[in-house]
Amino acid sequence: MSRSMSLFLGFVSFPTHYQEVLKFTHTTFLRLGVASLLGSFAPATAYAQFPALQTLGNVQRAEPAGNTLRLTFANATGEVTAYSPSILRVRLSPKPLAQDFSYAVVAQPSVSALQVRDEANMLTITIDSVRLVIQKSPARFSFYTADGKLLNQDEPGLGTSWVGEEITTYKKLQPGERFLGLGEKTGPLDRRGQAYLNQNTDTYGYGTSADPLYSTIPFYMGLHDGLGYGIFFDNTFVSQFNFGASNDRFSSFGARGGEMNYYFIGRRKPAGIIQDYTYLTGRMPMPALWSLGYQQSRYTYYPDTEVKRIVQTFREKKIPLDVLYLDIHYMDAYKVFTWHPQRFPQPAKMLKDLKSMGVHTTVIVDPGVKTEKGYAPYEEALQKSLFVKYPDGTNYRGEVWPGWCNFPDFTLPAARQWWGEQFKGYVDAGLDGFWNDMNEMATWGNQLPSNILFNYEGRGATTNAARNVYGMQMARSTYEGTRKLMNGRRPLILTRAGYAGMQRYTAIWTGDNVSTDEHMLTGVRLVNSLGLSGMPNAGMDVGGFTATPPPTAELYTRWISLGTFTPFFRAHSAVDTKSAEPWSFGEANTETNRNYIQLRYNLLPYLYSAFYEATQNGMPVQRSLAIDYPTDSLVYSPDFQNQYQFGPGLLVAPVSSTLAAARVYLPAGRWYDFYNDQPAAGGKASYVPTPLDRLPVFVRGGSIIPMQSPVQYTAQAPLDTLYLHIYKGDKPTSFVYYEDDGTTYAHEKGQYVKRTITLDPAARALELGKMEGSFKSKFKNVEVVFHGFESLGPVQTAGKRQTTATRVFYLQKSASLTGENTRSTVITVRNATEAVRITW
């Protein structure tokens, strides 16, 4: 540290954890040449006007050390470390490698030693699924499958380089290579030819091609020649990704500071790549069952009498509802952790009344803490020095809803603990949902100074390194705090901003969208992309938030039908806009909206099981067709790129509200119309009718879709029969059914029920596997509903002939208006804990 800096620290009093930040910042500023602004105390040549480009140079030394190969280059140092049989980590830096740390990665390196072969001009590193060849002169990295097929390689003439503090790795574009993922990004499903910036930003009413948006997930998949790989660039600085934009030579990824630190995943198919990525960054916990029901929000519902009126109207109109949101007007002068004394004089009583009607309440929380004497959260955080700071030690102030605010440093463990403790009053009052907003961090003017200091777990960082993790760490603080306070119950946590790994703590929505068809379809692609990027619990504001002009009746109704098949199903609209509840657009549309929301509840056993799968292997609930059909070129067509699977068995084709018919592409295989069981051949596109009461939905042959009887909210008990819809396919298929109490963490101690259900068309058999877990299912019976089976022989269980019946189902009630239904053979069996085999 320079003498001037030592004197400076001597005159200004800082908490110990921020002195380290200042040391870090001072060193960084000197390295950047900022010290030259203080005077001409060094030769002018020491601070060039333009920083020179620097490359790795040649490999000079390679030292195996267990699971790691340590590398010394002419101009840099590096490491290659194995994390699993299919994951290698590459770290490169022009300086000695920093102490290892990540907000995203929770996996530990492999304990097995690397297999390294050192030859004259190359190093070869081999793990089970990947072979990495490092050319020594100049240093270049090429990744292959175990059998020698090229997956990914550095661009031969470019490799990895630095310009000042900015670091970039250039990869050679492969013929026909496609790129998927990168989280919350607009644009096409295939990112080829696009470029993106990761800088979490408050983008109110963003355009359908806007970039950047609110969150950062620097992970993507590359596909070519029937092969696949994944790259996760774990660097929290503002980063850039180029997938062949403005060039035909390379794709690239880089950041404005920090190390070149990426994980290479060598799995051939997207599903396996997602599984490995979420092995690295963690998987979501089981959500509360009630958080998967319908959620109604508005900016904003107040006073308490209006809140109760909205809920009562849902109940009177028989429209299912589980969650109601309160936006900023519930607070006293917009101050976080308060209630408005006139609008909500008795919050605990109101929340109890809502809970008696089966409705959970979620409130918005913003990070800005009003700088007001006597305001307890402000005074306490100030006294404990928990706010982010300028280099001179003063707390950063920005203006948001309450006025001028300080902002907690969520990269400081003490601040996270303090924030979590602030929810005690909310939880004691009866709240169990918490909506983290404005956490990019957003302020009026949208120009966050670059010299704000963050603790960054004691490592010290400025805005450029910390802004992309700020929202994630706020959501983490909220999750960890409320989980401790809620006496074993699961909270609903929602965030607008985040970083890779946020799935461990929160759901996400796509921010302040607009009430247009184009935005609705853009939202579908955003949620699809989030799913491709390890974030299964995602949604958009149904109906559009920025409702000027307001949504048409047709647009709102179409959006509700899409929301039915979206993981996180919430309608939301802005202040001073037309009412946008499901009954606000005329009786015919109310009926359609009611029926689709009801369908969501009927599908809850299927949906909850799909979420369970996400907790086990990271598979998204809303699945781009590229996951199961990565080599089918029509999946990437602009005409069909919005289509997705909802869980493993349903295919949803989003369409504009203005279309009475639309082309739908069904990939190869056997398919059925969800509403009438009409078979549809795969491998081709065809026109289907799309009236507002008929969103195109198809069922893949071989699918197993468990459903329940209608309920008005998730805590209401359905009938004691589980309806197991099975669809004839061409090969054996299976489905893992999962159930627990839906509200507590008892499932983590074995209190759940899980069984594998297998359908074998060749053997003409369905097997309900033996139940696992100690939870008692809510269903006493299972009614098997056969779809697509032209003729059934005698149906038997355990060698005994069973009585069958014929049932008519209206899977989407309004389909009955046109007479559409499914007429199916059914058989009812006991929901026994032991395996049950049914043959026909």
Residue type at 538 in one-letter notation: A
CATH number of 623-698: 2.60.40.1180
Quote the CA–CA distance of 346 and 336 in Å, as a whole number: 17
Contact between 405 and 371 (Cβ < 8 Å): yes
Q: Where are the domains of the chain?
A: 3-46, 53-281, 289-620, 623-698, 704-839
The catalytically annotated residue of 512, 581, 628, 673 is: 512
- The predicted pLDDT at position 176 comes to 97
Q: Which of 154, 259, 322, 440 is catalytic?
A: 440
3-class secondary-structure state, position 834: coil
587 flagged as catalytic:
no
pLDDT of residue 818: 52
Same fold, 623-698 and 704-839: yes
Q: What long-range pairs does 747-753 form, CB within 8 A, spacing at least 24? A: 747/286, 747/773, 747/775, 750/774, 751/775, 753/777
Comparing CA positions, the residue from 477, 336, 494 lying closest to residue 411 is 477
CATH number 3.40.50.720 given to 53-281: no
pLDDT at residue number 820: 74
Q: What is the pTM of this model?
A: 0.94
Q: Which of 154, 366, 437, 740 is catalytic?
A: 437
| CATH fold for domain 289-620 | TIM Barrel (3.20.20)
ω into residue 536 within 30 of 0, thus cis? no
Q: Is 437 a catalytic residue?
A: yes
Question: Does residue 755 contact residue 695 with C-beta atoms inside 8 Å?
Answer: no
> Residue for token digits 């003729």?
791
Buried b (16+ CB within 10 A) or exposed e, 550-583: bbbbbbbbbbbbbbbbbbbbbbbbbeebeebbbb
Mean pLDDT by runs of 10 across the 840 residues of the chain is: 33 42 41 35 47 95 96 98 98 96 97 93 97 98 98 98 97 98 98 98 97 98 98 98 97 98 97 98 98 97 98 98 98 98 98 98 98 98 98 98 98 98 98 98 96 98 98 98 98 98 98 97 98 98 91 97 98 93 97 97 98 98 98 98 98 97 98 95 96 96 97 98 97 98 98 98 96 98 95 89 86 55 90 96
Let me know if domain 704-839 sits in CATH 2.60.40.1180: yes
Under 8 Å CB-to-CB from 255, ≥6 apart: which residues? 166, 167, 233, 235, 237, 238, 239, 240
Show Cβ contacts of residue 671 under 8 Å, excluding neighbours closer than 6 positions: 651, 679, 680, 681, 682, 698, 699, 700, 701
Pairing of strands 360-365, 323-326: parallel
d(CA 350, CA 344): 8
**pLDDT of amino acid 145:** 98
Q: Residue 587, SS3?
A: helix
| Under 8 Å between Cβ of 674 and 602 | no
Tell me the C-alpha to C-alpha distance, in Å, between residue 613 and each of 171, 533, 624. Answer: 33, 16, 16
Annotation marks residue 327 as catalytic? no
For residue 81, report the phi and psi dihedrals to the nearest 5 degrees. -130, 140
